[in-house]
């Protein structure tokens, strides 16, 4: 399934570890120059250094997906270095592991700021760079929680919102030669899921045929 991505530029938000890091590695292995955008400086720098040492073109940039200023700076940096963007992977996300009765409004808003507003800002900010590609691809990482439901109300609602945002922006950006799709992974064994309280993930495993995380 290897793809020839030579000459292409990719940006992966939340790319410092877990699923994001796996996406970064695959894109780099397939020939793309990859910009890792994340708030995890240590992990992101280490990953970029590791791949650069292996002969890949990978860089790390400290980046908060909820910050318009950070998006403006990131777009300027990609423009100055590459002049275009072919692949945008919106992977950055958080999970507020609180049931409905225990969740605060601030927690709810934080989940939507990162998971939904962060994706919105990404697409809006990168649109012109993506348009220059002529055949760009935006991949929004939603979740099975965006198709059915998990026992995290703010996460589930935000991932449904990402799914809807994907459909709407796909209609708008198709004229610019930009495809917008979402993918919906089930639970994956990453540092994020490893931090879940006892019993929390078990409630979602009934929907996984193998009965375990990917």
Active site residues: 155
- ∠ Cα 131 137 141 (to 5°): 130
CA-nearest of 135, 85, 115 to 182 is: 115
Q: Is the dihedral of CA 53, 33, 140, 153 positive or negative?
A: positive
Measured between its terminal Cα atoms, the distance across the chain in Å is 19
Answer whether 86's CB lies under 8 Å from 136's CB: yes
H-run or E-run covering 12: strand 9-13
**In this structure, what token pair is assigned to residue 72?**
């403006």
Answer whether 119's CB lies under 8 Å from 133's CB: no
Answer whether 204's CB lies under 8 Å from 150's CB: yes
**In this structure, what token pair is assigned to residue 17?**
């570890």
Answer whether 137's CB lies under 8 Å from 120's CB: no
CA-nearest of 91, 31, 23 to 63 is: 91
């Amino acid at each position: 399934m290897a793809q020839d991505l030579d000459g292409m530029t990719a940006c992966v938000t939340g790319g410092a570890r877990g699923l994001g890091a796996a996406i970064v590695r695959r894109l780099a292995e397939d020939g793309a120059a990859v910009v890792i955008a994340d708030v995890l400086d240590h992990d992101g720098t280490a990953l970029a250094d590791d791949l650069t040492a292996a002969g890949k073109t990978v860089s790390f940039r400290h980046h908060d997906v909820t910050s318009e200023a950070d998006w403006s700076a990131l777009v300027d940096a990609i423009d100055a270095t590459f002049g275009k963007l072919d692949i945008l992977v919106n992977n950055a996300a958080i999970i507020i592991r609180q049931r409905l009765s225990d969740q605060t409004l601030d927690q709810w808003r934080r989940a939507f700021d990162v998971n939904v507003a962060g994706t919105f800002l990404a697409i809006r900010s990168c649109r012109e760079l993506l348009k220059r590609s002529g055949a760009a691809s935006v991949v929004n990482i939603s979740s099975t929680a965006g198709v059915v439901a998990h026992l995290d109300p703010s996460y589930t609602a935000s991932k449904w919102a990402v799914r809807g945002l994907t459909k709407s922006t796909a209609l708008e950006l198709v004229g610019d030669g930009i495809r917008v799709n979402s993918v919906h992974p089930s639970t994956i064994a990453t540092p994020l899921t490893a931090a879940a309280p006892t019993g929390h993930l078990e409630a979602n495993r009934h929907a996984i045929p193998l009965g375990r995380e990917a």
